[in-house]
């Protein structure tokens, strides 16, 4: 792509800035809602599994299996279930958002050193207090890491949502693909790549800033 | 007061605690000791209900603890573990204040406690309160571990091999600190160790366990003098010769002593003594039996070159047999005009010498193990 192509692309973007902006906003909505839903399900489930470890293996395996179902197949199923539009897209994306958070919550909590739990119990913390004051703080960095993975995944999976009319940057890409218009493809692909990288970086910064000094460089 | 009444605990087929009965008085420092797996930790953890016995009862101040809410119970009992277990996400101050905060002390109340306690172990508040555990040395971490256990002023503190992971010097410093704190704050401490040195040093009462049973519960002195079981004597090993036990002259003597035949000539003798930097030596007969002693001064006063030392011997040095009772030996040492006592074997050959230095060293070793050697 020569300088000329870049110029046309920039011109195209300026021309279509409203469309692109709307798609971007929708993309954020897709990612935001599905990651939020994923967290809402995965974090409590991860905590639950860490208490009842004999369920954990089965559940984590199941979640891993679901994860390997190709996105398009999942979308197909969701389409059959919910019809076209936003609901099936959010459904599928939320399911994909769950696994990384679930895994990291579970391992984050189960890998908290036993001696901390022993000490916490021995000095008279209730199970709830141990969870809130010790286990979650110590697992937090790992949980946030899971959220970051989940966000990066969902940003890219969300481009598929365009296929079933849920909008987002995928819309532009699919339009581009079906009309052989490179500019549309780029207008969808470039922002979604930027969004993925930016969000990943942002969450990394958050992850570092919430880690107390005492835990930096210390594995828990 | 802590009382165990027929306390038993089994894991499957194996009986870990076998009908334990004992009583710990307020302010007492009790050390649980015994071979690995004998049930020390299990015993300790039944006191704060981290383990529920399947038979018998534990009482604290007359109250059956199985009737007390375990969380409430644990907040009134300090707990220190070998792995320290300071919460890495909390500062030193937050760690120490954990239990007071659980008990809903206001900040005006817990903060002075933190200051005071840090002061108590020589870690000034300003420098240390806002550090994280990972920023402290192992010894400092365990100091904080101990302070965390003390913060809500529990009358009872349980410690499970608290110094097991520390180097010997730090360990000893902490032993002293804990002992001092215990006396000062009048705590009842139940302390688990498998180190007999530590037990002898710290305990008012030692509980020796084996196979989930108590073999002996006695003061350190009593345990040293009258071990109730061969296992206990074996466990004490080098401590057999501690003061008060039946010691003999042989335990205090030094065996590298300067000996010479009575035919040795004066100049040679002087040279021998100079080389060893001593001012007297032992003279033996041809059959190696003890003949007497000779001093540098005497040789100088009487001796001419070429004379034999057999002719200028003295016999002022007290003589004891190797098996002479330590007490009598000491009497002789302190009244000895030459400042030492000669120790003889049964066949009258020389076994060694006891000087005030050799005695002090031997006593030190008996008390403190290998440290001085
Ligand atoms: N949860 C458990 N399940 C099965 N057996 C156990 C359990 N906890 C302890 N035991 C067994 O009970 C016995 C006593 O254990 P305990 O921890 O009280 O020993 P200990 O005297 O503290 O030993 P150590 O000096 O090694 O710490 C051991 O044989 C141990 O293997
Ligand atoms: Mg133990």
Inter-chain CB proximity B81 and A119 less than 8 Å: yes
**pLDDT by position in tens, chain B (length 373):** 999 999 999 999 999 999 999 999 999 999 999 999 999 999 999 999 999 999 999 999 999 999 999 999 999 999 999 999 999 999 999 999 999 999 999 999 999 999 999 999 999 999 999 999 999 999 999 999 999 999 999 999 999 999 988 888 889 899 999 999 999 999 999 999 988 989 999 999 999 999 999 999 999 989 988 999 999 988 887 554 444 456 788 888 888 888 888 888 888 888 888 877 888 889 999 888 999 998 888 888 887 777 888 888 888 889 998 888 877 888 888 888 888 899 998 888 898 888 887 777 777 666 665 444 3
CB of A130 less than 8 A from some CB of B:
no
Q: Say if CB B298 and CB B309 are below 8 A apart.
A: no
Q: Which helix (H) or strand (E) holds B4?
A: strand B2-11
C-beta separation of B162 from B81 below 8 A: yes
Task: Give me the sheet containing B290-295, strands edge to edge.
Answer: B259-261, B280-284, B290-295
For residues A108-133, average pLDDT? 96
> In 3D, which of B122, B150, B133 has the Cα closest to residue B93?
B133
**Residue owning tokens 């409590």:** A44
- In DSSP notation, B157-182 reads EEEESTTTTS-HHHHHHHHHHHHHHH
pLDDT digits (tens, 9 = 90+) for A1-44: 567 888 899 999 999 999 999 999 999 999 999 999 999 999 99
Q: Is B36 in the pocket of ligand 1 (CB under 6 A)?
A: yes
Strand partners for A104 = none
Q: Residues within 5 Å of ion ligand 2 by Cβ?
A: B 41
Contact between A99 and A149 (Cβ < 8 Å): no
Return the percentage of chain A with pLDDT > 70, whole number: 97
Mean pLDDT taken over chain A: 91
| ipTM computed for the complex | 0.85
Closest of B46, B58, B63 to residue B10, by C-alpha: B46
Q: How far is the CA of B16 from the centre of ligand 1 (A)?
A: 7
CATH of domain A16-208: 1.10.3720.10
Establish whether residue B37 lines the binding site of ligand 1, counting it when its CB lies within 6 angstroms of any ligand atom. yes
Contacts of B102 in chain A (CB under 8 A): 123-125, 129
User: How many Cβ atoms from other residues are within 10 Å of residue A193's Cβ?
Assistant: 13
* Domain boundaries along the sequence of chain A: 16-208
Q: What is the pTM of this model?
A: 0.75
Please indicate whether, in this complex, the C-beta atoms of B71 and A124 are within 8 angstroms of each other: yes
Q: Does B44 touch chain A (CB under 8 A)?
A: no
Rounded-to-integer distance, Cα A151 and Cα A153, Å? 5
Rounded to a whole number of angstroms, the distance from the CA of A116 to the nearest CA of chain B is: 5
User: By C-alpha distance, which of B150, B154, B147, B141 is closest to B82?
Assistant: B141
What are the pLDDT digits (tens) for B155-174? 999 999 999 888 888 898 99
Pocket test for ligand 1, best of B13, B14, B32, B41 (most atoms within 8 A of CB): B41
Report whether residue B212 contacts ligand 1, using a CB cutoff of 6 Å. Answer: no
**Banded pLDDT at A220 (limits 50, 70, 90):** very low
- State whether the Cα torsion A73-A78-A80-A86 is positive or negative: negative
Ligand 1 within 6 A of CB of B194: yes
């Amino acid at each position: 792509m020569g300088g000329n192509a870049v110029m046309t692309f920039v011109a195209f973007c300026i021309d279509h800035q409203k469309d692109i902006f709307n798609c971007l906003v929708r993309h954020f909505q897709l990612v935001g809602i599905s990651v939020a839903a994923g967290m809402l399900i995965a974090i409590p489930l991860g905590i639950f599994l860490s208490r009842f470890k004999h369920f954990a293996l089965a559940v984590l395996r199941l979640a891993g299996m679901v994860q390997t179902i190709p996105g398009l197949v999942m979308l197909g199923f969701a389409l059959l279930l919910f019809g076209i539009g936003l609901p099936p897209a959010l459904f599928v994306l939320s399911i994909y958002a769950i696994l990384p958070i679930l895994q990291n919550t579970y391992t984050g909590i189960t890998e908290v050193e036993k001696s901390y739990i022993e000490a916490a119990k021995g000095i008279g913390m209730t199970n709830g207090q141990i969870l809130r004051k010790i286990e979650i703080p110590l697992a937090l960095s790992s949980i946030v890491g899971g959220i970051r993975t989940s966000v990066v995944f969902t940003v890219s999976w969300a481009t598929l949502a365009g296929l079933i009319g849920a909008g987002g940057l995928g819309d532009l890409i699919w339009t581009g693909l079906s009309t052989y218009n490179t500019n549309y493809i780029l207008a969808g692909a470039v922002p979604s790549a930027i969004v993925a990288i930016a969000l990943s970086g942002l969450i990394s910064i958050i992850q570092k800033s919430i880690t107390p000094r005492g835990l930096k460089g210390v594995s828990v | 007061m802590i009382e165990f009444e027929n306390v038993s605990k089994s894991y499957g087929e194996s009986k870990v605690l076998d009908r334990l009965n004992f009583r710990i008085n307020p302010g007492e420092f009790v050390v649980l000791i015994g071979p690995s797996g004998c049930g020390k930790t299990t015993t300790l953890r039944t006191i704060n209900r981290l383990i529920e016995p399947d038979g018998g009862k534990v009482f604290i101040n007359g109250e059956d603890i199985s009737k007390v809410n375990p969380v409430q119970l644990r907040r009134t009992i300090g707990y220190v573990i070998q792995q320290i277990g300071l919460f890495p996400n909390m500062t030193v101050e937050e760690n120490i204040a954990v239990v007071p905060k659980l008990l809903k002390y206001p900040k005006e109340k817990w903060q002075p406690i933190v200051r005071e306690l840090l002061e108590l172990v020589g870690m000034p508040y300003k420098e240390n309160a806002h550090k994280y555990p990972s920023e402290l040395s192992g010894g400092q971490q365990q100091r904080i571990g101990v302070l965390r256990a003390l913060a809500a002023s529990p009358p009872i503190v349980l410690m499970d091999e608290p110094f097991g992971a520390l180097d010997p010097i730090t360990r000893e410093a902490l032993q002293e600190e804990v002992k001092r704190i215990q006396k000062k704050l009048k705590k009842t401490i139940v302390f688990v160790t498998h180190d007999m040195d530590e037990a002898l040093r710290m305990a008012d009462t030692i509980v020796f366990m084996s196979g989930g049973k108590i073999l002996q519960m006695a003061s350190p002195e009593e345990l040293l003098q009258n071990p109730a079981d061969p296992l206990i004597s074996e466990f004490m090993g080098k401590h057999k010769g501690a003061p008060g036990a039946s010691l003999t002259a042989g335990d205090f003597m030094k065996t590298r002593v300067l000996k010479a035949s009575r035919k040795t000539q004066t100049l040679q003798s002087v040279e021998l003594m100079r080389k060893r930097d001593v001012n007297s030596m032992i003279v033996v007969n041809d059959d190696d039996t003890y003949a007497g002693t000779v001093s540098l001064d005497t040789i100088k006063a009487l001796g001419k070159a070429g004379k034999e030392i057999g002719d200028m011997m003295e016999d002022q040095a007290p003589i004891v047999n190797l098996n002479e009772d330590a007490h009598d030996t000491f009497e002789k040492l302190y009244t000895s005009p030459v400042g030492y006592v000669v120790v003889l074997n049964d066949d009258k050959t020389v076994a060694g010498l006891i000087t005030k230095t050799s005695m002090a060293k031997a006593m030190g070793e008996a008390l403190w193990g290998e440290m001085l050697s």
